[in-house]
Amino acid sequence: MTTSRERVMLAVNHREPDQIPIDLGGHRSSGIMAIAYNKLKQHLGITEGDVYVYDFVQQLAIIEHPVRQRFGIDTIELGRGFALNPEDWRDWVLPDGTPCKIPAYIQPVKVGNDWHVYHEDGTLLTIQKEGCLYFEQVCWPLANSDDQTFQNLEKAMEYVMWASLGTPPAPIGYDPEGLKQLAAGARTLRASTDKAIIGLFGGNLFELGQMLFRNDNFFYLLAAEPQRIHRFLDKLVELHLANLEKYLSAVGPYIDIILFGDDLGMQTGSQISPRMYYEFFQPREKIMWDAVKKLADVKVMLHSCGSLYSLLPGLIEAGLDIIQPVQTTTQNMEADRLKAEFGKDICLWGGGCNTRDVLPYGTPQQVADDVRRRVDILAPGGGFVFQQIHNVMADVPPENIVAMLDAVNS
């Protein structure tokens, strides 16, 4: 009998498995918002267990074992091997009033009707305003900096929301004791599951430029001060490579896929030109992904939203194995085009359901029809793992979530 891990890896290696592998919550862009997850549990009649919000920024819920079993989920995130004790969590309340648990190392402060999170030195990092479902970054540590050497880049990254509010196994670090804990947790998780395990590394380049300098400044600097940005990216890669070696020394034997992140696309195309991508980012991606394959027997996945059609050849040349979430609702990213042009060279992990128009607003039948149409295009010959296009949002009816997942192999 094919295990979930075998099923996923067959698909990733462009072989057709016994059935289409399904990812829900295997990484931070295939998950479900805690508000929607609570409603899904109620709909399924699952009464035990609290709602655990492991991704505080996006407010994504941990997918519990009964839900994974109900839908035949084939993936699990490495973080599920950590934060397993009650003291690792604290009580909080979601925007709709639902009680939940959040990581104990995150300390939100109520200010009026908003929630704030501060750096330990008192700097305000991020805010969730009243009526908003997410936290938004408000600190741009290099926005007004004239730094040319970036020797303090690691310190500056502490003020980036996504780094300071990391998901489990954060806040475990890469010091010797931390690496020992990482290895132990990863080893135990591996022994306890037959799911394909995804380790979230990050390794962002383009996005960290946006997060550190602020979007407008970073776009300007790419064009106006390219040598400064080359120095910045060189330092960033130096930090990533050092962390990558430590990370994979601890968890490499126990994971199947390592996830990098960089949102390079938008609705109408890439955020930067292919020329700029090849100059600044593609060579550095290759350095990092080559390093991965020397350090561990794992596949390299990149999370990148939006239209990537013009950049996919460069990503493949750099050594990318898997792209997600395959946003087929953007320009030039039609499922049949991607399968025909790139389906033999890269695993299309996603594109399985239209989360913009159909999943939140369609009927269950329309959702199921959308899923079946897409998997008929994407699944033949392998090279496809099902997930919806990015996370399930808070307003998606539970009936539609059920219809989506039940349609994959029906």
How many alpha carbons lie under 13 Å from residue 33 in its C-beta half-sphere? 23
CA 53 – CA 56 distance, rounded (Å)? 6
Q: What is the pLDDT of residues 330-363, one digit of tens each?
A: 999 999 999 999 999 999 999 999 999 999 999 9
Task: Name the band, by pLDDT with cuts 50, 70 and 90, for residue 138.
Answer: very high
**pLDDT tops 90 at residue 227:** yes
Backbone angles phi, psi at 296, to 5 degrees: -160, 155
Structure tokens at 49: 């267990």
pLDDT given at position 345: 97
| Domains: count for the chain | 1
Structure tokens at 199: 């380790």
pLDDT given at position 196: 98
CA 316 – CA 65 distance, rounded (Å)? 35
**pLDDT tops 90 at residue 327:** yes
338-264-294 Cα angle (round to 5): 85
CA 73 – CA 79 distance, rounded (Å)? 16
Peptide bond into 95 cis (omega under 30): no
CA 167 – CA 177 distance, rounded (Å)? 19
Q: Is residue 44 domain-resident?
A: no
Structure tokens at 371: 């899923």
Give the chain's length. 410
Q: Is residue 242 domain-resident?
A: yes
* Residue partners of 227: CB distance under 8 A and separation at least 6: none
* Residue partners of 108: CB distance under 8 A and separation at least 6: 56, 92, 102, 115, 116, 117, 128
**pLDDT tops 90 at residue 396:** yes
**pLDDT tops 90 at residue 322:** yes
Average pLDDT over residues 108-120: 97
* Residue partners of 338: CB distance under 8 A and separation at least 6: 309, 312, 326, 328, 348, 351
Q: What is the pLDDT of residues 205-225, one digit of tens each?
A: 999 999 999 999 999 999 999
Q: Is residue 116 domain-resident?
A: no
Q: What is the pLDDT of residues 15-57, one digit of tens each?
A: 999 999 999 999 999 999 999 999 999 999 999 999 999 999 9
Q: Is residue 341 domain-resident?
A: yes
CA 85 – CA 318 distance, rounded (Å)? 40
Structure tokens at 215: 């979007």
Percent of the chain predicted with pLDDT > 90: 99
Q: Is residue 305 domain-resident?
A: yes
Domain extent for 332: 4-30+72-82+141-407
**pLDDT tops 90 at residue 317:** yes
pLDDT given at position 149: 95
CA 61 – CA 55 distance, rounded (Å)? 7
Chain CA centroid to CA 245, Å: 20
3-class DSSP state of 92: strand
Select from 1, 20, 106, 112 the least CA-distant residue to 351.
Answer: 20
The CATH number for 157's domain is: 3.20.20.210
Q: What is the pLDDT of residues 73-112, one digit of tens each?
A: 999 999 999 999 999 999 999 999 999 999 999 999 999 9
Q: What is the pLDDT of residues 362-395, one digit of tens each?
A: 999 999 999 999 999 999 999 999 999 999 999 9
Q: CB–CB of 355/335 below 8 Å? A: no
Could you tell me the pTM of the whole model?
A: 0.97
In angstroms, the first-to-last Cα distance of the chain is 19
CA 371 – CA 115 distance, rounded (Å)? 37
Q: Is residue 220 domain-resident?
A: yes
**pLDDT tops 90 at residue 125:** yes
Q: Is residue 67 domain-resident?
A: no
pLDDT given at position 1: 82
> Which helix (H) or strand (E) covers residue 183, if one does?
helix 176-192
**Start-end of H helices in 306-363:** 312-317, 335-342, 358-361
Percent of the chain predicted with pLDDT > 70: 100
CA 260 – CA 257 distance, rounded (Å)? 10
